[in-house]
Chain A
Amino acid sequence: MSAAVDHAQAAGSDRRIVFDDVSKFYGEVLGINRVNLVLDPGITGLVGPNGSGKTTLFNLATGLLRPSRGRVSVLGLGTDRPEELFRLVGYATQFDSFPKGMTGLGFVESFLRLHGYANAEARRLADEAIERVGLSRDAGRKVAGYSKGMRQRIRLAQAMAHHPAVLLLDEPLNGLDPMVRSEMIGLFRQLAEQGLHVVVSSHVLHEVDLISDRVVLLNNGYVVAEGEIQGVRSEMERHPMKILIRCDRPGRLAARAFEEDGVVEARLVEDEKGVLVATRDADSFYLMLNRVVLEEGLTVETVLPVDEDVQSVYRYLIGANGGGAS
């Protein structure tokens, strides 16, 4: 990745992503309003409920949308020149759609050819990116047959295959199982250590807490808070996070969960095909879950952080200033 960073440095001295008084309206509907943000290299987490403006912010940073007012620049480049911008930027969107009929490898490789890479180089970079996201074995399969987590990872591979200096990831952990989730978080950290901008969005505050150096909280199109993660983390400790796990033996999982420090509740859901766990230490819980899966041979269908308590943290953090403008 250092090649990309060198490239970015050569492109200009500005290494920031800057939103300068940016607003975006969809007709009369507010996307984001009067956002002033400066993002430095490292991992930044964008967090907010669905509809808070996270995707709008990403789309503005990549020129998929044009601001109704204000200006966005990425490493000193305007977003209206994709031919320059996307040499330095990779964006894994949340749109869960793909060009029809393509294999994972074909998907990544064909878009590298659009960058102008010759066939052999495109193939090499595609293989490398696919390996980094752990999809090498399934690269030859049609994307249409991928699970949600695999589709998520192939989008990530496409975004990072050309070694960008800025990586924008919209809800990148959605649909990933705990093991892959932790691998991806490791990958994001690795990329940030190499000097990249990694901007990650999530509506799950705890996820952002795990990943980010700093956090930007959005609500109703406004930036309501931004800063180091520590302040948010201490607040998190007082609000247990709920995680829904659907698996073949939820009773056994519930019993094991109770042995874990930090778990304050574990109850079977109504259809008895899952268990809802409330924990003050989600990190440890995820590690424990991996252990249980291996030791007990559990088949896990989904692992889903449940919003309820995250919303209460939002209410606490956001409600103080009424969800209004920053």
Chain B
Amino acid sequence: MSAVTDSGSPGRWRLWVRQGLAVARLEIGRNFFGLRALGLYLLALAPLGIILLLAWGRILGLFGAPETPPPAGDLAREYGAFFAGLQSRLVIFFVSLLVFTRLFRAEVQQRSLHYYFLTPVRREVLVAGKFTAGLVAAGLILGTTTVLTFLGHFLPLTRAAGSTDYATFLSRGGGLGQLAGYLGVTLLGVLGYGAVFLAAGLFFRNPILPALAVFGWEWANFLLPPLLKRISVIHYLQALQPVPPPEGMLALLADPPDPWLAVPGIVAMSAVFLVLSALRLRRAEIVYGEE
């Protein structure tokens, strides 16, 4: 039998990484393939359906007489508003909610969490492994949605109008840069909301109620005074959008955070929630309600 070593600092880190990856692999295999994940995929792909409907509706003149295709800049602003209103406020939020609250809560409901507790895996490594699984799965699902909605917003019109304006925008006019920016915002959203919801799944028997409270807070963010705006994920996500959305008439304006603060801010906030989760799990007991 080859020894599984955890002696010495480098060996210990290697073991933790190997164990964390084993947890992530197990979680991805169990949670993100098969019929069980179908609802998740449907929710994640809903924006694509909406954006394709909008694009084809415009081409077919369903919203009024067919018009001259708008300039690429206008279309990019439209996408910015769409991303802020639907993608980051709803889809990233709810997909993260579904993925990350289930990582521990579902194990308690299915009475299978003890199997993890009966292995020589540090609870901190277990949190990291499960979070990695959620991050990979939700990141892949939502990243794909972002890419498809972005392309779906421009490409049908490009073909219909025969315009080279959008193609130029996409290939050389900053379109790819914007797409990368939206992708980055998507991943940061998954990171931030994921850490919050992972903790909610550990701290609350029913994480839906705290999740709804977070949802209300995030939704009302534009109405909050500048100081309170900073205590939210959406404030940073919208500031990082390549084309920031309009704040709305009722919004209380605040200086958008500098990207060099916004990115580390979300990362740091996620780290705080992960540490809280690890501490919680360290103290956790297995009581499924039977002796």
Chain A residues in the interface with B (C-beta under 8 A): 3, 26, 31, 50-51, 53, 55-56, 59, 62-66, 82-87, 90-91, 93, 95, 97-102, 110-111, 113-118, 121, 125, 158-159, 163
Contact = CB atoms under 8 A, between A and B. Distances in A.
Contacts of B25: 113
Contact of B117 (A82, A90, A158): A82
Nearest to B285: A65
Nearest to B1: A3
B80 to A, nearest CB: 40
B185 interface: no
B4 A117 contact: yes
B8 to A, nearest CB: 14
B159 interface: no
Given A93-B114, A113-B22, A85 B286 contact: no
Interface of B: 1-2, 4, 6, 15, 18-19, 22-23, 25-26, 30, 34, 36, 107, 110-112, 114-123, 283, 285-288, 291
A26 B288 CA distance: 12
Given A65-B287, A66-B285, A82-B123, A99 B115 contact: yes
A173 to B, nearest CB: 19
A117 B119 contact: no
Nearest to A124: B1
Contacts of A65: 285-287
B291 A55 contact: yes
A99 B110 contact: yes
A100 B112 CA distance: 9
B291 A111 contact: no
**Interchain residue pairs A-B with the least CB separation, the first 7:** A97-B111, A116-B4, A86-B120, A113-B22, A64-B286, A114-B119, A99-B112
A117 B116 CA distance: 15
Contact of B30 (A51, A100, A115, A158): A100
Contacts of A163: 1
Contacts of B2: 117-118, 121
A114 B285 contact: no
A46 to B, nearest CB: 13
Given A113-B26, A116-B4, 15 more contacts: A26-B287, A62-B118, A64-B285, A66-B285, A83-B120, A86-B118, A87-B120, A99-B26, A99-B107, A99-B115, A100-B110, A114-B120, A114-B121, A118-B2, A159-B118
A85 to B, nearest CB: 7
B19 A114 contact: yes
Contacts of B283: 66
Contacts of B119: 82, 86, 111, 114-115
A97 B112 contact: yes
B16 to A, nearest CB: 9
B291 A84 contact: no
Nearest to B283: A66
Contacts of B1: 3, 121, 125, 163
Contacts, number: 101
B196 to A, nearest CB: 25
Contact of B26 (A86, A110, A121): A110
B183 to A, nearest CB: 31
A114 B283 CA distance: 20
A83 B6 contact: yes
A279 B286 CA distance: 39
B285 A85 contact: no
B4 A87 contact: yes
A232 to B, nearest CB: 23
Q: Which of A50, A55, A59, A97 has the most CB of B within 10 A?
A: A97
B117 to A, nearest CB: 6
Q: Which of A83, A91, A98, A101 has the most CB of B within 10 A?
A: A83
Given A99-B115, A163-B1, A82 B120 contact: yes
A77 B118 CA distance: 15
Contacts of B23: 114
A95 B22 contact: no
Nearest to B110: A97
18 contacts: A50-B291, A51-B291, A55-B291, A56-B291, A64-B118, A65-B286, A82-B118, A85-B120, A86-B118, A87-B4, A90-B118, A95-B114, A102-B30, A110-B22, A113-B22, A114-B119, A115-B4, A116-B4
A101 B30 CA distance: 7
B112 A98 contact: yes
A159 B288 CA distance: 20
Nearest to A110: B26
Q: Which of B36, B112, B288 has the most CB of A within 10 A?
A: B112
A83 B285 CA distance: 16
Contacts of A90: 118
B111 A115 contact: no
Contacts of A87: 4, 120
Q: Which of B18, B36, B120, B288 has the most CB of A within 10 A?
A: B120
Given A51-B291, A98-B112, A110-B26, A59 B120 contact: no
A126 to B, nearest CB: 13
A90 B115 CA distance: 11
Contacts of B30: 99-102
Contacts of A56: 291
A159 to B, nearest CB: 8
A82 B1 CA distance: 21
A95 B111 contact: yes
A102 B27 CA distance: 12
Q: Which of A91, A97, A113, A114 has the most CB of B within 10 A?
A: A114
A116 B287 contact: no
A59 B286 contact: yes
A83 B286 contact: no
